[in-house]
Structure 1
Amino acid sequence: MQQRFAQADGSISSASVALPYSWSEGYEHDLIQRIRVIANFMVQGEDLRAAANLANGASSDVSRHNWTAIAEAFEKHKREHGAGINSNTWASKYAPVVTRMIELMSGQGAPMNGPNLLEAAVRQWDLGSRSRQIATQNGAAFLRYAVERHGVSSRTWEPPHSLANVVGRRAPTREQFALSNAQVIRLVEGLQVIGSEEASRWAFAVQLCAEYGLRPTELFHLRFKGEQLWCMYCKKSGGGTTKPRRLLAAPLLDMGGAPTDWRLEQRLQAGEPLPQVVDPSLAGDRMGRFLRRQAIWQELSAEAQQLGEELVPYSLRHRYSATCHRNNVPPKFIAEAMGHSLETHLRRYARFVSHGAAAAAFNAAFGGVITEGELKK
């Protein structure tokens, strides 16, 4: 491998290093991987020889350390220190990415530094998804643990300072679709006709999300206070942490204009089962994966696409917001019922605010005759 330099007098000088591989097809993958590691060190300011030596150290680091033993120690550390995670948390949030990292480290052409290892390990999750974000954070924690507790080279195996590029961003999406009453009813009936236990549970989940405006993860945080149904989920965001809230129904109307009688609260009190989800924080992903396989969801998705919009699990929650706005519920109260701030609500759901409703509110307040056209002037 050779590096050339242009000198001030116009001449060319060079430096070269020999790589420890035969020039044959069998070593192609390893050779390319080593060149990438050397190039990474050179980007950080090292010359060719220094970068090659560091890459040699990274290669020996892979074989010198027992990464499986480090992973076992990391699990023990996570269980017994700090907040102390439980078996389900380890199995759902840590084990998938750590196991993948160990597989990569023990296979042919193992990554030779922390950033490359982390990027390769999280490739199985969609860019920008919550699942990929969690995997990236926990994979980085494993690398930091290896550096701090097991003598692994920090220069080689420290994860990148910023994880944003590893997590990535989803491709730009269309406006998310708000399902109509009739479409929600079709969805529920389409799931129920499948006849499986799993489909019945998801039909129940769909009904709850549509009528109460729930986030999918909130399905697993429902409690009764006396006769009132509450959601105890507290969402953390840049605007602070939301509080538990009483759930207020926005009933769906059937084709005849009568409220559907799904008896949701009675069914919850009777213990009707919800879908089986190991990690409630990933319930949205789990719901999406199930629904996208169903013919009725594909049919509704095509209808959304005709309007240039995208059907997602949150389309059930969007239905709740749109319905409340159409029935002139003040935005402040809709935001409170949905468990977010008024600012967040107006930023997300301004498209559902009716100008006609604004005119009616002003007329009611001031007794004048204000037309919708006058408000737009």
Structure 2
Amino acid sequence: MQLIGRIYQIVATGQQTVKGALQTVVDGSDTMKTGTNWSSAVDGLRAELMNGRNEILPATWKSNYQQYMEEALRILDGPNPPHDGHGLLQRTLERWKGKAASRAACCIAIRNLTDHAMARHHAAACWTITAPIVKNLRGKTSEKRTKATLSDSEMLYLIEGVDRRNPGWANVLRALALFGLRPIELQHLVPKPDDQGVLRMWCSYRKNCGGQLTAPRWLLPAPLHMASGERQDWNITGAMVAGLLEIPEGRDGGFRVLNGHYVEQFLRIQPEWKELKAIYTARGNGCGLTPSGTVTACGATSEGWKWERSPPPWATAWRSMPAATGGHQRQPLLRRLKRPSLPEGMDKPRGTAMDVDSGSAP
């Protein structure tokens, strides 16, 4: 009755027809309007994911949602926009044809968007994206490939080759291999004495796992061994304290922004990487070497390589040291590697840090 009354009042003025008055009333109602402000829905979803649920980081939004949101908004604001969730997902996926991993991520992102729009922005039920819709539109999943795991000798061969051309990048690889780090943890390393007064490496990074944060931890080094059995004692902790650890720099002289994309770009052009990849590809059953293979020896991957927000504390301290103490100079690591040769046979693959004699803390 209220709807009829409002329409009557508008028509009675003689300024609109019944059809025009009906459209005016619908457009002015939060519960009856047919259009959805999708830009507001995207903003609302971002706020909900970053401030609630799992409290994702801006970097996670950028890598897992942003490109799909931008494509969906382009389609919705363009000519002949879709009128339901099936159409929106179908047209958004067209941009990532033949890219199984990206299509899977796109399905998750767009489904989250339409669910949020219906729950918080009065979108109609026709925007629902069901599991069968996702299954039908996503396409085939990518074929799983066995990742290669580098032996100690192969890892040393790669690091030494990189070291001759770029010592800073070689130190990144050394730290990841020695401590079994996630790349993002590089910015959270702090050398400090433990309860017994022994100088060790502390990692303050707390990974978000289903809304729960992992605990900070002391790192246990797992030194690599050459084919001869000689152990490589990289005193990375001591090098940080002394200001002798060279790290990658950007073009502006500041700290290089590192993430999985840049790491992949860097490794793919290294001759040692190409050589190892060719060996593993020829060695067996479609087993290929991917950038994550460089550090899967210690259980980490290359995703998330970057300084987020600010450089790590040890890097800032190294920057501020005067030249007399070794700060901000091209200094060698405390102990240089001997040049290892690429083994013809496979060494025993490295396990986790707990599978290898960790020795004493550096």
Q: Secondary structure at the match of 2:222?
A: coil
After TM superposition, the score normalised by the length of structure 2 is: 0.54
Q: Which residue of 2 aligns with 1:209?
A: 176
Residue 290 (structure 1) shift: 3.6
Structure 2 residue identity aligned to 1:265: T
Q: Which residue of 2 aligns with 1:265?
A: 237
Q: Which residue of 1 aligns with 2:121?
A: 150
Q: Which residue of 2 aligns with 1:160?
A: 130
The whole-number CA distance in structure 1 between the counterparts of 2:202 and 2:114 is 40
Residue 127 (structure 1) shift: 5.1
Q: Which residue of 1 aligns with 2:276?
A: 300
Structure 2 residue identity aligned to 1:298: K
Residue 255 (structure 1) shift: 6.5
Residue 206 (structure 1) shift: 1.7
Matches within 5 A, 1:198-347: 201-226=168-193, 227-232=199-204, 244-254=216-226, 257-269=229-241, 270=243, 273=247, 276-277=257-258, 283-284=259-260, 287-308=263-284, 309-320=287-298, 333-334=354-355
Structure 2 residue identity aligned to 1:310: G
Return closer, same or farther for 1:235/1:80 CA change in 2, 3 Å cut-off: closer
| 8 Å Cα contact 1:136-1:167 kept in structure 2 | no
Return closer, same or farther for 1:223/1:162 CA change in 2, 3 Å cut-off: farther
Q: Secondary structure at the match of 1:103?
A: helix
Residue 103 (structure 1) shift: 1.5
Return closer, same or farther for 1:169/1:253 CA change in 2, 3 Å cut-off: same
Structure 2 residue identity aligned to 1:302: A
The whole-number CA distance in structure 2 between the counterparts of 1:118 and 1:298 is 38
User: Is structure 2 residue 197 aligned with structure 1 residue 176?
Assistant: no
The whole-number CA distance in structure 1 between the counterparts of 2:220 and 2:97 is 35
| 8 Å Cα contact 1:127-1:169 kept in structure 2 | no
| 8 Å Cα contact 1:235-1:242 kept in structure 2 | yes
In structure 2, stretches of 5+ residues that fail to align are 1-33, 194-198, 249-255, 300-346
Return closer, same or farther for 1:328/1:99 CA change in 2, 3 Å cut-off: closer
Q: Secondary structure at the match of 2:181?
A: coil
Could you tell me the percent identity over the aligned residues?
25
Matches within 5 A, 1:79-90: 87-90=58-61
Higher helix share: 1
Matches within 5 A, 1:105-124: 105-108=76-79, 110-118=81-89, 120-121=91-92, 124=96
268-277 or 95-104, larger mean C-alpha shift: 268-277
In structure 1, stretches of 5+ residues that fail to align are 1-62, 278-282, 338-377
The whole-number CA distance in structure 2 between the counterparts of 1:207 and 1:142 is 41
Residue 108 (structure 1) shift: 4.5
The whole-number CA distance in structure 2 between the counterparts of 1:318 and 1:256 is 23
Return closer, same or farther for 1:244/1:77 CA change in 2, 3 Å cut-off: closer
**C-alpha root-mean-square deviation of aligned residues, in Å?**
4.4
Structure 2 residue identity aligned to 1:150: H
CA distances 1:192-234 after superposition (whole Å, capped 9, x unpaired)? 4445xxxx55432221222223344444443445222244556
Q: Secondary structure at the match of 1:184?
A: helix
Residue 93 (structure 1) shift: 4.1
Structure 1 residue identity aligned to 2:289: L
Residue 272 (structure 1) shift: 5.1
Q: Which residue of 2 aligns with 1:25?
A: none
Q: Which residue of 2 aligns with 1:38?
A: none
Higher relative contact order structure (alpha carbons within 8 Å, sequence separation ≥ 6): 2
Q: Secondary structure at the match of 1:253?
A: coil
Return closer, same or farther for 1:286/1:141 CA change in 2, 3 Å cut-off: farther
Residue 304 (structure 1) shift: 1.0
Query: How many correspondences in the alignment?
Result: 258
The whole-number CA distance in structure 1 between the counterparts of 2:125 and 2:216 is 43
| 8 Å Cα contact 1:127-1:168 kept in structure 2 | no
Structure 2 residue identity aligned to 1:141: N
